[in-house]
Amino acid sequence: MLLGLTALTGLIIASLVGLFAAPLGSLFGLLDFPDDAGGRKQHARVTPLVGGLGVALASVVGVALTSAFVVQAGPSIGQHLLWLGIAIAAMFLIGLADDRFLLSPRVRLSLAMIVLLLVVISAPDFGVSFIRFSGQPQVLLLGSGAEVFTLLCLVGLLNAINMADGKNGIVISLGLIWSAILFFRLPPPMLPVLAAAASALAVLLWFNMKGRLFLGDGGSYAVSALFGLLAVYAYNHGFDSVRADDIVLMFAVPVFDTIRLMIARSLQRRSPFLGDRDHLHHYLYARIGWPRGLWVYVALVALPNAAAVALPGTAMVWLLVSAIAYGLVLKGARRPHVLVA
């Protein structure tokens, strides 16, 4: 019953945001203007950056509804739901401020680190305190470095998701894939929140693919907090079945692309945070168009993760497969051609 309620709530919220995207974007000044010819932003028209409002609001309302119905689950779950809601809302607002006022990378990164560190310290099940890969007989305890390690992982994921949000459908589709994976890995008290987010993302995908709205940084920041923290929570509560490589595999493709880009930019003596058109999705679009490029990107993420869920304990194998597949797809897409968008 609660799953259905939160899913319906997410659907309604996202539908309203999608239907009223244009007036909401104008009201809050959240509009993305295309660049001149040759610029990085080549969408056809001015587009509202309000998709993040839909997923963040749906997720926070899902947290509130879940908290109201699972009081009997004990104070720990209530504490973690509270901090999950705080994290999603705060990270959305940081991204929203960047969409509206163009914050410097240093400012928005610093604010995000403060929020995430507070969450990890205040809600211990959102922190990575041990490492255990498939086939590893013993657990490696992180001790006093646990909070710093967790923060680095969450900030890295934030950067990867933000960089991946360059073509319609990518981050929203990734969110739906991660929702499906976590459905099999999260303990029941967290599933209603996941249902709210997934239903909102499904609705927003339609509006996004029609060019009616973008997620914006508010959306990518909210999505990174939601799925990063839920993945850590699933890892801590699925000790018998969820290993570190299962979690790494979830986010592998956008992280691979981010690491490649940051190394390449550093070698070129450019800031790792400056935008360009060297992402995997740019090459896929130029080579085979969109949404065909989106389906390839989705397959790179979905297929290895589906195999890892179906065959527990094999995530390390599929992580290797994922890395090889990413390299081959990137190599094929980057064969000499002219980038058209």
pLDDT tens profile 324-337: 999 999 999 988 65
Mean pLDDT rounded to a whole number for the chain:
93
**Res 76: pLDDT:** 87
Q: Are 192 and 71 in contact (CB under 8 A)?
A: no
d(CA 304, CA 316): 10
pLDDT(72) > 70: no
Provide, rounded to the nearest whole percent, the portion of the chain with pLDDT above 90: 85
> Is 63 within the bounds of a domain?
yes
pTM: 0.94
- What tokens does 112 get? 């995000």
- Tens-place pLDDT, residues 15-34: 999 999 999 999 999 999 87
**Res 43: pLDDT:** 54
Sole residue written with tokens 């979905």: 302
pLDDT(142) > 80: yes
Domain encompassing residue 25? 2-240
Which of 237, 135, 139 is closest to 186 using CA atoms? 237
Which of 229, 219, 146, 149 is closest to 182 using CA atoms? 229
Strands 130-131 and 47-48: unpaired
Q: Which residue(s) pair with 47 in the sheet?
A: 32
d(CA 34, CA 46): 6
- Tens-place pLDDT, residues 77-113: 999 999 999 999 999 999 999 999 999 999 999 999 9
> Is 130 within the bounds of a domain?
yes
> Is 95 within the bounds of a domain?
yes
Domain count, the chain: 1
pLDDT(40) > 60: no
> Is 317 within the bounds of a domain?
no
Q: Which of 90-104, 121-135, 190-204, 265-279 is least confident? A: 265-279
> Is 314 within the bounds of a domain?
no
> Is 174 within the bounds of a domain?
yes
**Res 152: pLDDT:** 97
Alpha carbon distances (Å) from 326 to 48, 181, 284, 330: 31, 20, 12, 6
Arithmetic mean of pLDDT, 27-55: 81
Which tops the pLDDT comparison, 77 or 73? 77
**Res 339: pLDDT:** 44
> Is 228 within the bounds of a domain?
yes
- What tokens does 53 get? 């409002």
- Tens-place pLDDT, residues 222-249: 999 999 999 999 999 998 899 999 999 9
- Tens-place pLDDT, residues 167-182: 999 999 999 999 999 9
* Per-residue confidence band for 50, with pLDDT thresholds at 50, 70 and 90: very high
Provide, rounded to the nearest whole percent, the portion of the chain with pLDDT above 70: 94
pLDDT(73) > 90: no
**Res 270: pLDDT:** 85
Rounded (5°) CA angle 174-50-85: 70
**Res 59: pLDDT:** 98
> Is 145 within the bounds of a domain?
yes
**Res 338: pLDDT:** 46
